Amino acid sequence: MSAPILFESAIKGVQFGENVKIVQPVNIYGCSIGDNCFIGPFVEIQKDVTIGNQTKIQSHTFICELVTIGDDCFIGHGVMFINDLFQNGGPARGDKNLWKQTQIHNHVSIGSNATILPVEICSHVVIGAGAVVTKNITEPGVYAGNPAKLIRK
């Protein structure tokens, strides 16, 4: 029986703004985090991610490559960002050309356990807990459900 290969969570190659607070353990690498941000425990933020100023990211959230989150945003517990739409019937398996970008503008709150596919979400939007965002959101308001739909302006 052979021993497993062990990796440790870490913070590597991150560009931090002023007054960033992080609760460990986290796995954050190759990204940029703005001023006055909070990152909760058990969060992974991958490379080529940009987080704006005054943004809070709660525990157990996964932010994959190619995601940009604006200023004054709130990302709830267990939010999952997706960049691979399985265009060929399965995972891209290293073909990053198949990955898509996600753009979250300013003053966006995303409720716990929401799933965000590669989309653009305009400013001043609330995404309800457990929602699945499958399409761009171009109008401020409150969105909920699977797929997420506008429920209140």
What pLDDT, in 10s, does the model give residues 29-54? Answer: 999 999 999 999 999 999 999 999 99
Whole-angstrom distance, CA of residue 103 vs CA of residue 19: 24
Asked if the structure places residue 4 within a domain, the reply is no
| Total domain count, the chain | 1
Q: Is residue 128 part of a domain?
A: yes
- 148 and 129 in contact (C-beta within 8 Å)? no
The helix (run of H) or strand (run of E) holding residue 81 is strand 80-81
CB–CB of 63/57 below 8 Å? Answer: yes
The answer to whether residue 5 sits within a structural domain is no
Over the stretch 78-111, which tens digit does the pLDDT of each residue have?
A: 999 999 999 888 898 878 889 999 999 999 999 9
- CA 36 to chain centroid: 17
Structural domain of residue 44, as residue ranges?
11-152
| CATH number where 29 lies | 2.160.10.10
Mean pLDDT of the chain: 96
Backbone angles phi, psi at 143, to 5 degrees: -125, 140
Work out the widest C-alpha separation in the chain, in whole angstroms: 59
Q: Is residue 21 part of a domain?
A: yes
Asked, for residue 25, whether it belongs to a domain, the answer is yes
Domain assignment of residue 107, yes or no: yes
pTM (whole model) above 0.75: yes
- Mention every residue, 6+ apart, whose C-beta is less than 8 A from residue 44: 26, 27, 28, 61, 62, 63
The stretch 123-151 carries a mean pLDDT of 98
Judge whether 23 lies within some domain: yes
